[in-house]
């Protein structure tokens, strides 16, 4: 089977073709809107939706061409149907529905978070259940992945996500956009020990995250060091970047260590710690989490960096996994700006959770 996957939930316009046999990823095309959003220092929903409209048809055509197939060869079409910026989500969903209707093939509405959650199974052999740290610009959660469509949330952010802390930190330090890669580059030349930034919730019971206080501490430190124009010296910016990255890594590792204990008690058959989402592309954080997994006797699995950030291949693969189980959707499916993986989980304390 060949499945087309469409991703338009934020600021990447992406399409991919995956197969259930042989080489799984037949094509994976991503158009990044970084240039469109850089002047604003962050993603502007209206700009993102317009860019999806302008580019999606061409991205799909390119993906089909790279896969060496025509649209008539598709067994199904999958699209991110939430959560995300609803204008962009609508663009991808309507395109997928039009293809499904015209070709009379199944339409599969994919939860964007499930795309991330299942992406490691696209890149490597991985059995259920596994413990997942899902960390990105809008989400930071620890989940027990029991199977396709079966997720138990062990912890989530009570305010901001780890990726947002990277993005806002980079903006505060004048490092540019997107923030995650900018912080990682600057941190290589920095001294993480120079500034004692806090590790919110570290050492406390539970598996929830908090990054709001860390952002505040970074801002206060940056303001104290800035010159009259508000600019930071290069050494100061590098040291603060290194400190921020280390603090985020320590928070993720501490909360994940708590989740490992819960996971082992409740799901004794699981033996893997998986990290996915855009933050999982950070090499330093991957190394820290890999060391934690090794210390606790778990296999550590992370998708290749290209499958950590938003992409169509993970959506196509999630669609394929759902299609195998007969989980298809009607053309009346309504896109969802919020769509938790674990609907039974209690709401987190605070208003910053995007689910």
Residues of the chain short of pLDDT 50, as ranges, are: 351-355
Q: Is the peptide bond before 129 cis (omega within 30 degrees of 0)?
A: yes
Half-sphere exposure of 97 (CA within 13 A, CB side): 16
Beta-carbon contacts of 296 under 8 Å, excluding residues fewer than 6 positions away, are 257, 260, 273
Could you tell me if 200 and 211 are in contact, meaning their C-beta atoms sit under 8 angstroms apart?
yes
Alpha carbon distance 12, 115 (integer Å): 14
Number of H helices, E strands in the chain: 11, 10
HEC readout, 240-276: HHHHHHHHHHHHHHHHHHHHHHHHHHHCCCCCEEEEE
Quote the CA–CA distance of 29 and 17 in Å, as a whole number: 9
> 277: phi > 0 → left, psi -120 to 50 → alpha, else beta; which?
left
Contact 309, 163 (CB under 8 A): no
Segment 210-235, tens digit of pLDDT: 999 999 999 999 999 999 999 999 99
pLDDT of residue 22: 84
Q: For residue 37, what pLDDT is reported? A: 83
Cα end-to-end distance, the chain, whole Å: 31
Q: Which domains does the chain have, with CATH numbers?
A: 2-118+306-324 (3.30.420.40), 127-305 (3.30.420.40)
Phi, psi of 218 (to 5 degrees): -65, -45
Give the pLDDT confidence score for residue 178 in this predicted structure.
85
**pLDDT the model gives residue 159:** 95
Residue 40 in 3-state DSSP? helix
What is the structure's pLDDT at 281?
A: 94
The arrangement of strands across the sheet holding 12-19 comes to 25-32, 12-19, 2-7, 76-82, 107-111
6: left (phi over 0), alpha (psi -120 to 50) or beta: beta
Q: Work out whether strand 12-19 and strand 2-7 pair parallel, antiparallel, or are unpaired.
A: antiparallel
Between CA 120 and CA 116 the distance in angstroms is: 8
Q: Is the peptide bond before 233 cis (omega within 30 degrees of 0)?
A: no
The model's pLDDT over 129-170, given as tens digits with 9 standing for 90+, comes to 999 999 988 889 999 999 999 999 999 999 999 999 999 999
């Amino acid at each position: 089977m060949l499945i087309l996957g469409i991703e338009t939930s934020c600021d990447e316009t992406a399409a991919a073709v995956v197969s259930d046999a042989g080489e799984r990823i037949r094509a994976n095309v991503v158009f990044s809107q970084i240039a469109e959003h850089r002047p604003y220092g962050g993603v502007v929903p209206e700009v993102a939706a317009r860019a999806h409209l302008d580019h999606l048809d061409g991205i799909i055509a390119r993906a089909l061409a790279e896969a060496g197939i025509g649209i008539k060869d598709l067994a199904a079409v999958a699209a991110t149907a939430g959560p995300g910026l609803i204008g962009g989500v609508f663009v991808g969903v309507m395109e997928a529905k039009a293809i499904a209707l015209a070709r009379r093939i199944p339409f599969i509405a994919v939860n964007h978070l499930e795309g991330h959650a299942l992406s490691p199974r696209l890149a490597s052999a991985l059995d259920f259940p596994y413990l997942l740290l899902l960390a990105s610009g809008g989400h930071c959660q620890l989940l027990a992945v029991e199977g396709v469509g079966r997720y138990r949330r062990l912890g989530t952010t009570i305010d901001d996500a780890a990726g947002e802390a990277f993005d806002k930190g980079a903006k505060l330090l004048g490092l540019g956009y997107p923030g995650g890669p900018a912080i990682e580059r600057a941190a290589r030349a920095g001294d993480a020990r120079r500034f004692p930034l806090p590790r919110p919730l570290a050492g406390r019971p539970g598996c929830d995250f908090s990054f709001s206080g860390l952002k505040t501490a970074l801002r206060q430190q940056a303001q104290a060091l800035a010159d009259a124009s508000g600019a930071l010296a290069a050494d100061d910016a590098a040291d603060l970047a290194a400190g921020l990255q280390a603090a985020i890594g320590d928070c993720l590792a501490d909360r994940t260590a708590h989740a490992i204990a819960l996971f082992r008690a409740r799901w004794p058959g699981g033996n893997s710690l998986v990290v996915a989402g855009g933050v999982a592309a950070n090499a330093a954080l991957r190394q820290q989490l890999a060391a934690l997994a090794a210390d606790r006797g778990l296999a550590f699995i992370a998708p290749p960096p290209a499958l950590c950030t938003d992409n169509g291949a993970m959506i196509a693969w999630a669609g394929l996994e759902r299609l195998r189980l007969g989980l298809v959707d009607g053309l009346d499916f309504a896109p969802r700006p919020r769509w938790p993986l674990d609907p039974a989980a209690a709401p987190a304390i605070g208003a910053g959770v995007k689910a």
